[in-house]
Amino acid sequence: MAGIEKVPSPRSGAHTVIGSSIVIDGEISGDEDLVIQGTVKGRISLRESLFVEGSGVIEADIETANVEVSGQVTGNIAATDKVELKADCKVVGDIRAPRILIADGAIFKGNVDMDVKEAKGK
Amino acid sequence: MAPTDATTIIGESIVVSGSLNGDEDLTVRGRVEGTLTLTKTLVVEPTGIVKAEVQVKNCVIAGAIVGNVTATESVEITKEGRMVGDIAAPRVIIVDGASFRGRIDMGEVDVESGRSETRVAARPALRPAPVARPAAKAEPKRLEEKTVPAVSKPPAPPAPVAMGAVKRKVIVKRK
Protein backbone atom coordinates (compact mmCIF):
# COMPACT_ATOMS: atom_id res chain seq x y z
CA MET A 1 0.00 0.00 0.00
CA ALA A 2 1.25 3.34 -1.01
CA GLY A 3 3.71 4.41 1.60
CA ILE A 4 1.58 4.24 4.66
CA GLU A 5 3.62 5.64 7.43
CA LYS A 6 3.35 4.35 10.90
CA VAL A 7 1.55 7.09 12.67
CA PRO A 8 2.79 7.30 16.20
CA SER A 9 -0.01 6.48 18.55
CA PRO A 10 -1.47 9.60 20.03
CA ARG A 11 0.48 9.97 23.17
CA SER A 12 -1.46 12.68 24.77
CA GLY A 13 -3.10 12.72 28.12
CA ALA A 14 -1.33 11.12 31.00
CA HIS A 15 2.18 11.46 29.73
CA THR A 16 4.51 14.30 29.84
CA VAL A 17 4.90 16.00 26.52
CA ILE A 18 7.50 18.57 25.64
CA GLY A 19 5.98 20.35 22.68
CA SER A 20 7.77 21.28 19.51
CA SER A 21 8.37 24.94 20.34
CA ILE A 22 9.70 24.23 23.80
CA VAL A 23 13.38 24.50 24.62
CA ILE A 24 14.60 23.14 27.92
CA ASP A 25 18.13 23.76 29.05
CA GLY A 26 18.82 21.81 32.17
CA GLU A 27 17.77 18.59 33.70
CA ILE A 28 14.65 16.49 33.42
CA SER A 29 14.00 13.63 35.76
CA GLY A 30 10.95 11.60 36.63
CA ASP A 31 9.12 8.34 36.89
CA GLU A 32 6.87 8.46 33.89
CA ASP A 33 6.92 8.34 30.12
CA LEU A 34 8.24 11.40 28.39
CA VAL A 35 7.51 12.46 24.84
CA ILE A 36 9.80 15.04 23.34
CA GLN A 37 8.86 17.02 20.27
CA GLY A 38 10.95 20.03 21.17
CA THR A 39 14.53 20.65 22.21
CA VAL A 40 16.21 19.47 25.38
CA LYS A 41 19.77 20.19 26.38
CA GLY A 42 21.41 18.92 29.51
CA ARG A 43 20.42 15.64 31.06
CA ILE A 44 17.43 13.35 31.06
CA SER A 45 16.93 10.63 33.59
CA LEU A 46 13.74 8.65 33.76
CA ARG A 47 12.58 5.32 35.08
CA GLU A 48 10.23 4.79 32.15
CA SER A 49 10.24 5.35 28.43
CA LEU A 50 11.53 8.26 26.46
CA PHE A 51 10.13 8.97 23.02
CA VAL A 52 11.98 11.41 20.85
CA GLU A 53 9.63 12.27 18.03
CA GLY A 54 10.52 13.48 14.57
CA SER A 55 10.74 17.12 15.54
CA GLY A 56 12.59 16.38 18.75
CA VAL A 57 16.18 17.45 19.23
CA ILE A 58 18.17 16.27 22.21
CA GLU A 59 21.61 17.33 23.23
CA ALA A 60 21.82 15.47 26.46
CA ASP A 61 22.91 12.36 28.20
CA ILE A 62 19.99 10.04 28.61
CA GLU A 63 19.36 7.48 31.30
CA THR A 64 16.08 5.63 31.07
CA ALA A 65 14.49 2.21 30.81
CA ASN A 66 13.42 2.51 27.17
CA VAL A 67 14.29 4.96 24.45
CA GLU A 68 12.61 5.30 21.11
CA VAL A 69 14.22 7.81 18.79
CA SER A 70 12.67 9.21 15.64
CA GLY A 71 14.32 12.59 15.92
CA GLN A 72 17.83 13.76 16.69
CA VAL A 73 19.93 12.84 19.67
CA THR A 74 23.42 14.00 20.44
CA GLY A 75 24.73 12.46 23.61
CA ASN A 76 25.15 9.16 25.33
CA ILE A 77 22.20 6.91 25.87
CA ALA A 78 22.07 4.38 28.68
CA ALA A 79 18.95 2.29 28.91
CA THR A 80 18.18 -0.51 31.31
CA ASP A 81 15.91 -2.21 28.82
CA LYS A 82 15.89 -1.18 25.19
CA VAL A 83 16.97 1.46 22.72
CA GLU A 84 15.24 1.69 19.41
CA LEU A 85 16.48 3.88 16.60
CA LYS A 86 13.73 4.36 14.07
CA ALA A 87 14.11 5.14 10.42
CA ASP A 88 14.97 8.81 9.81
CA CYS A 89 16.44 9.32 13.24
CA LYS A 90 19.88 10.76 13.72
CA VAL A 91 21.92 9.73 16.71
CA VAL A 92 25.46 10.67 17.63
CA GLY A 93 26.80 9.20 20.84
CA ASP A 94 27.33 5.96 22.65
CA ILE A 95 24.52 3.59 23.38
CA ARG A 96 24.51 1.14 26.22
CA ALA A 97 21.55 -1.17 26.64
CA PRO A 98 20.81 -4.90 26.68
CA ARG A 99 18.63 -4.60 23.58
CA ILE A 100 19.36 -2.23 20.75
CA LEU A 101 17.36 -2.00 17.55
CA ILE A 102 18.44 0.06 14.60
CA ALA A 103 15.97 0.38 11.78
CA ASP A 104 16.81 0.73 8.13
CA GLY A 105 17.32 4.40 7.37
CA ALA A 106 18.50 5.36 10.81
CA ILE A 107 21.69 7.41 10.99
CA PHE A 108 23.95 6.54 13.86
CA LYS A 109 27.48 7.30 14.88
CA GLY A 110 28.96 6.02 18.09
CA ASN A 111 29.66 2.94 20.13
CA VAL A 112 27.19 0.27 20.98
CA ASP A 113 27.45 -1.76 24.13
CA MET A 114 24.94 -4.53 24.71
CA ASP A 115 27.06 -6.21 27.32
CA VAL A 116 24.98 -5.04 30.18
CA LYS A 117 24.69 -7.32 33.15
CA GLU A 118 21.50 -9.29 33.41
CA ALA A 119 20.74 -7.79 36.76
CA LYS A 120 19.17 -4.52 35.92
CA GLY A 121 20.24 -3.05 39.17
CA LYS A 122 22.88 -1.00 37.45
CA MET B 1 3.95 14.39 12.13
CA ALA B 2 1.49 13.95 14.91
CA PRO B 3 0.32 17.52 14.69
CA THR B 4 -1.71 17.21 17.90
CA ASP B 5 -2.40 20.34 19.84
CA ALA B 6 0.55 22.46 20.71
CA THR B 7 0.40 21.85 24.40
CA THR B 8 3.25 20.79 26.52
CA ILE B 9 2.56 18.88 29.68
CA ILE B 10 4.99 18.32 32.49
CA GLY B 11 3.60 15.26 34.23
CA GLU B 12 3.24 14.71 37.93
CA SER B 13 6.41 12.78 38.54
CA ILE B 14 8.59 14.91 36.29
CA VAL B 15 11.13 17.38 37.56
CA VAL B 16 12.57 19.92 35.16
CA SER B 17 15.39 22.06 36.42
CA GLY B 18 17.09 24.66 34.36
CA SER B 19 15.60 26.98 31.82
CA LEU B 20 12.48 26.27 29.87
CA ASN B 21 11.52 28.39 26.86
CA GLY B 22 8.74 28.04 24.40
CA ASP B 23 6.02 29.44 22.18
CA GLU B 24 3.14 27.27 23.25
CA ASP B 25 0.90 26.57 26.19
CA LEU B 26 2.45 24.72 29.07
CA THR B 27 0.69 22.72 31.73
CA VAL B 28 2.68 21.88 34.80
CA ARG B 29 1.59 18.97 36.96
CA GLY B 30 5.06 18.19 38.22
CA ARG B 31 7.92 20.44 39.21
CA VAL B 32 9.78 23.11 37.32
CA GLU B 33 12.75 24.89 38.80
CA GLY B 34 14.88 27.62 37.28
CA THR B 35 13.48 29.98 34.70
CA LEU B 36 10.38 29.60 32.62
CA THR B 37 9.71 31.77 29.60
CA LEU B 38 6.73 31.33 27.32
CA THR B 39 4.91 33.43 24.77
CA LYS B 40 1.65 31.76 25.65
CA THR B 41 -0.18 30.51 28.70
CA LEU B 42 1.24 28.75 31.70
CA VAL B 43 -1.16 26.62 33.70
CA VAL B 44 0.05 25.30 37.00
CA GLU B 45 -2.31 22.54 38.04
CA PRO B 46 -3.00 21.68 41.68
CA THR B 47 -0.22 19.10 41.74
CA GLY B 48 2.21 21.42 40.02
CA ILE B 49 5.03 23.26 41.74
CA VAL B 50 7.00 25.98 40.01
CA LYS B 51 10.02 27.46 41.68
CA ALA B 52 11.16 29.77 38.99
CA GLU B 53 11.34 33.19 37.50
CA VAL B 54 8.34 33.09 35.22
CA GLN B 55 7.77 35.20 32.12
CA VAL B 56 4.63 34.42 30.20
CA LYS B 57 1.65 35.95 28.49
CA ASN B 58 -1.00 34.47 30.73
CA CYS B 59 -0.59 32.55 33.91
CA VAL B 60 -3.19 30.47 35.73
CA ILE B 61 -2.11 29.24 39.12
CA ALA B 62 -3.99 26.37 40.71
CA GLY B 63 -0.88 24.85 42.20
CA ALA B 64 2.11 26.52 43.75
CA ILE B 65 4.53 29.11 42.45
CA VAL B 66 7.51 30.38 44.34
CA GLY B 67 9.20 33.13 42.40
CA ASN B 68 8.36 36.22 40.47
CA VAL B 69 5.83 36.14 37.69
CA THR B 70 5.82 38.63 34.85
CA ALA B 71 2.91 38.35 32.49
CA THR B 72 2.19 40.49 29.46
CA GLU B 73 -1.54 39.90 29.84
CA SER B 74 -2.86 38.38 33.00
CA VAL B 75 -2.13 36.39 36.10
CA GLU B 76 -4.88 34.47 37.82
CA ILE B 77 -4.55 32.74 41.14
CA THR B 78 -7.44 30.31 41.53
CA LYS B 79 -8.91 29.21 44.80
CA GLU B 80 -6.47 26.33 45.09
CA GLY B 81 -3.53 28.43 44.03
CA ARG B 82 -0.66 29.38 46.29
CA MET B 83 2.01 31.82 45.39
CA VAL B 84 4.91 33.57 47.02
CA GLY B 85 6.65 36.18 44.92
CA ASP B 86 6.00 39.34 43.01
CA ILE B 87 3.54 39.68 40.18
CA ALA B 88 3.89 42.15 37.35
CA ALA B 89 0.97 42.07 34.96
CA PRO B 90 -1.66 44.47 33.66
CA ARG B 91 -4.44 42.19 34.86
CA VAL B 92 -4.19 40.33 38.12
CA ILE B 93 -6.99 38.14 39.38
CA ILE B 94 -6.90 36.63 42.83
CA VAL B 95 -9.98 34.72 43.80
CA ASP B 96 -11.33 33.93 47.21
CA GLY B 97 -9.40 31.10 48.80
CA ALA B 98 -6.16 31.74 47.00
CA SER B 99 -3.09 32.40 49.05
CA PHE B 100 -0.53 34.91 47.98
CA ARG B 101 2.34 36.78 49.49
CA GLY B 102 4.28 39.35 47.53
CA ARG B 103 3.93 42.51 45.56
CA ILE B 104 1.73 43.28 42.65
CA ASP B 105 2.55 45.74 39.96
CA MET B 106 -0.10 46.40 37.36
CA GLY B 107 2.12 48.84 35.55
CA GLU B 108 1.69 52.45 34.66
CA VAL B 109 -1.15 54.24 36.25
CA ASP B 110 -2.36 57.21 34.26
CA VAL B 111 -2.66 59.83 36.93
CA GLU B 112 -3.94 62.40 34.46
CA SER B 113 -7.12 60.66 33.56
CA GLY B 114 -9.96 60.95 36.00
CA ARG B 115 -10.50 57.29 36.51
CA SER B 116 -7.36 56.67 38.43
CA GLU B 117 -8.30 59.47 40.79
CA THR B 118 -11.48 57.69 41.70
CA ARG B 119 -9.39 54.62 42.25
CA VAL B 120 -7.17 56.37 44.67
CA ALA B 121 -10.14 57.84 46.43
CA ALA B 122 -11.89 54.53 46.66
CA ARG B 123 -9.03 52.72 48.21
CA PRO B 124 -9.17 54.10 51.74
CA ALA B 125 -12.78 53.08 51.95
CA LEU B 126 -11.86 49.54 51.04
CA ARG B 127 -8.95 49.27 53.28
CA PRO B 128 -10.57 48.77 56.67
CA ALA B 129 -12.81 46.06 55.24
CA PRO B 130 -10.51 43.05 54.72
CA VAL B 131 -10.43 40.54 57.51
CA ALA B 132 -8.89 37.14 56.95
CA ARG B 133 -6.91 37.40 53.81
CA PRO B 134 -6.71 41.01 52.94
CA ALA B 135 -4.37 40.80 50.03
CA ALA B 136 -6.25 38.07 48.27
CA LYS B 137 -9.64 39.56 48.65
CA ALA B 138 -8.98 43.18 48.25
CA GLU B 139 -6.84 42.90 45.19
CA PRO B 140 -9.25 41.82 42.48
CA LYS B 141 -12.16 43.72 43.80
CA ARG B 142 -10.53 47.03 43.79
CA LEU B 143 -10.49 47.11 40.04
CA GLU B 144 -14.16 46.41 39.77
CA GLU B 145 -15.09 48.72 42.53
CA LYS B 146 -13.05 51.57 41.30
CA THR B 147 -16.22 53.47 40.58
CA VAL B 148 -17.23 53.39 44.21
CA PRO B 149 -18.19 56.91 45.11
CA ALA B 150 -15.35 58.67 46.75
CA VAL B 151 -14.27 58.77 50.30
CA SER B 152 -16.49 58.35 53.21
CA LYS B 153 -13.63 58.18 55.68
CA PRO B 154 -10.63 60.38 56.08
CA PRO B 155 -7.93 59.06 53.76
CA ALA B 156 -5.03 56.81 54.60
CA PRO B 157 -5.60 54.99 57.81
CA PRO B 158 -2.30 53.30 58.57
CA ALA B 159 -2.27 50.05 56.65
CA PRO B 160 -1.41 46.99 58.70
CA VAL B 161 2.08 45.75 58.04
CA ALA B 162 0.82 42.35 56.99
CA MET B 163 -0.87 43.87 54.02
CA GLY B 164 2.41 44.35 52.28
CA ALA B 165 0.95 43.73 48.89
CA VAL B 166 -1.79 46.24 49.17
CA LYS B 167 0.31 48.84 50.83
CA ARG B 168 2.99 48.75 48.20
CA LYS B 169 0.44 48.83 45.54
CA VAL B 170 -0.74 52.13 46.89
CA ILE B 171 2.73 53.50 46.61
CA VAL B 172 2.95 52.41 43.03
CA LYS B 173 -0.27 54.05 42.15
CA ARG B 174 0.65 57.35 43.68
CA LYS B 175 3.68 57.85 41.53
- pLDDT per residue of chain A (122 residues) written in tens, 0 to 9: 444 444 444 444 457 899 999 999 999 999 999 999 999 999 999 999 999 999 999 999 999 999 999 999 999 999 999 999 999 999 999 999 999 999 999 999 999 999 866 544 44
| Number of domains chain A contains | 1
CB-nearest to A32 from B5, B11, B22 is B11
Rounded Cα distance between A43 and A79, Å, is: 14
Q: Same structural domain for residues B14 and B99?
A: yes
Model-level pTM greater than 0.80? no
**Contact by Cβ (8 Å): B23, B5:** no
Q: Same structural domain for residues B38 and B79?
A: yes
Measured in degrees and rounded to the nearest 5, phi and psi for residue A59 equal -120, 80
In a domain? residue B1: no
How many Cβ contacts (< 8 angstroms) between chains A and B? 92
Please report the pLDDT score of residue B152 as a whole number.
Answer: 53
Residues of B with CB below 8 A from A16's CB? Answer: 9-11, 14, 30
| Number of domains chain B contains | 2
Domain residues for the domain of B146 are 114-174
In a domain? residue B129: yes
Q: Same structural domain for residues B56 and B73?
A: yes
> Do residue A32 and residue B14 have CB atoms under 8 angstroms apart?
yes
Residues of B with CB below 8 A from A12's CB? Answer: 4-5
Q: Name residues of chain B where pLDDT drops below 70.
A: 1-6, 111, 113-175
SS3 content of chain B, % helix, strand, coil (to 5): 20, 40, 40
Q: Same structural domain for residues B95 and B15?
A: yes
CA distances from B11 to A32, A60, B34, B129 (A): 8, 20, 17, 41
> Do residue B20 and residue A22 have CB atoms under 8 angstroms apart?
yes
**DSSP readout, A11-68?**
--TTSEEE-TT-EEEEEEEESS-EEESSEEEEEEEESSEEEE-TT-EEEEEEEEEEEE
In a domain? residue A7: no
Plot region of B34 (φ>0 → left; ψ -120 to 50 → alpha; else → beta): left
